[in-house]
Chain A
């Protein structure tokens, strides 16, 4: 459904993503694993439209979306949970989620959000900036989900988050895939979380995908070696 073809992305003068190609299928979770500075965030930002690729093509269900603005990509069914969560600090939890409703006509928060994240229900009137990191991460996922995406991009969702909430987020991602048929593309450094949620894995190093495996065939030791090199 989401196809990336020979993507090249520059950050200023430096060539960060050097010809990346892969595909995310329907209701499939793909994980891009890699250490810091290997291009994970740049790749996700380019797919989201926050950075302009220099070469290559991004298609969603056959439609070319390479150079659309971020707000146009939302309309095509892509949602984004950035690294560091980027919650609006001075908006309440409720308002944060309501911003996510921008592209849908119904402007009330659907109930399934509170089934997935019961903790948010009691915090609706608190400022987003006063939540803990884990709560903010759940809020960021909720905010992305209310636009009814076909595919959701998550950039290092476990970074700086306590283990109990990582566990909950893994559960939620699996529910989204199985029950709602949503495709998921995530980047990670934390292998356990990746193994728990993803169907296929890529290793990114210096802007190239250098290794590919599936959950069935995954050699945990080999993957770990790439991450700790």
Chain B
């Protein structure tokens, strides 16, 4: 067994961690605030991925000189486009099903099917590849068989940047305070003057936008297809449940745990065995800590 190769695999696990983290943060904000389980979250991620694909093609055809910078345009567009679609979804679909969790589940599942089919109609059923700019190709060699690929370093930095941004937003801005207040006590927030409908819209857009960024990041490490989102939605929910809803730190640690278990287990066995090992691990952990890794207790 080569330690270098194993370390490389551990580092590659950090990419999965980053993507799961971005997905789970969005899910956790939405679920914590509105109790809405958004089954279309994986397809929101794919909106980000396909946006990146379209922008990459656009740059390579029309503005090839600036091709090395397309990734930044793609990330920003993915965020805003997905956030906007999330905003529309909340306004047209979720808002009318408020306090009906089962109906919301069905409605968002339906939306996810519609979106998957639209991807197939527009981009074809086959996976698409997004070419990376030159500066993301190659790797930083620490030793002969321990390499850190640039694209994976970039994704990790991107996730750290997003988590930092979200933390600042939630804890240092007025909107963040509103979101935290409504998450803890919706009626009381309303009775103190907070327009809870607006808070729902903003939070849903923000959570969706994060999924868009995750999708954009996903294109940097592999090809993506219409149903790729499906592979990530379950894992993202596992992250949210394991982390304990309403705990940012819990979400981060649980994304790390699941991402790493999965990649390292994949290294020693096969990818379906890795899934089994991850699931068994989570089931055991939830037996010990039913409310997730982090649950705070105070007098409410």
Contact = CB atoms under 8 A, between A and B. Distances in A.
Nearest to B171: A95
A144 B190 CA distance: 12
A87 B192 CA distance: 11
A90 B177 contact: no
Interface residues of B, number: 22
Nearest to A102: B193
A91 B300 CA distance: 11
B193 A103 contact: yes
Interface stretch (B102-110, B181-189, B228-236, B266-274): B181-189
Interface string A121-156: 000000111110000100000011001000000000
A99 B298 contact: no
A70 B184 contact: no
Given A86-B188, A88-B185, A91-B181, A131 B193 contact: no
A80 interface: yes
B177 A127 contact: no
Given A89-B299, A129-B299, A70 B190 contact: yes
Given A88-B181, A107-B174, A129-B299, A147 B193 contact: yes
Interface string B127-168: 000000000000000000000000000000000000000000
Contacts of B246: 90
A128 B298 CA distance: 9
Nearest to A136: B299
B298 A129 contact: yes
A71 B178 CA distance: 13
A143 B192 CA distance: 8
A89 B300 contact: yes
Contact of B192 (A127, A131, A147): A147
Given A95-B177, A107-B174, A129-B299, A90 B184 contact: yes
Contacts of A144: 192
A74 interface: yes
A199 interface: no
Contacts of B41: none
Contacts of A48: 191
A98 B177 contact: yes
Nearest to B195: A71
A141 to B, nearest CB: 13
B184 A102 contact: no
B298 A130 contact: yes
Given A89-B298, A99-B177, A71 B194 contact: yes
Contacts of B193: 70-71, 74-75, 100, 102-103, 147
B194 A131 contact: no
Contacts of A99: 177-178, 181, 189, 192, 194
Where chain B touches its partner, the secondary structure class is helix
Interface string B187-220: 1111111111000000000000000000000000
Nearest to A81: B191
Interface in A43-81: 48-50, 69-71, 74-75, 80
Chain A, interface residues (CB within 8 Å), range: 20 to 34
A39 to B, nearest CB: 18
A82 B191 contact: yes
Highest count of chain A CB atoms <10 Å: which of B190, B193, B195, B296: B193
Given A70-B190, A80-B191, A99-B177, A88 B196 contact: no
A86 B189 CA distance: 10
A37 to B, nearest CB: 20
Contacts of A130: 298-299
Given A86-B185, A91-B180, A99-B177, A69 B190 contact: yes
Interface in A88-118: 88-91, 95, 98-100, 102-103, 107
Contact of B184 (A71, A89, A98): A89
A90 B299 contact: no
Interface of B: 174, 177-178, 180-181, 184-185, 187-196, 246, 296, 298-300
9 contacts: A88-B188, A89-B184, A90-B184, A90-B296, A95-B180, A99-B177, A102-B193, A128-B298, A147-B193
Given A86-B188, A130-B299, A143-B192, 15 more contacts: A71-B190, A71-B195, A71-B196, A74-B193, A75-B193, A80-B191, A88-B180, A90-B180, A90-B296, A91-B177, A91-B184, A99-B178, A102-B194, A107-B174, A144-B192
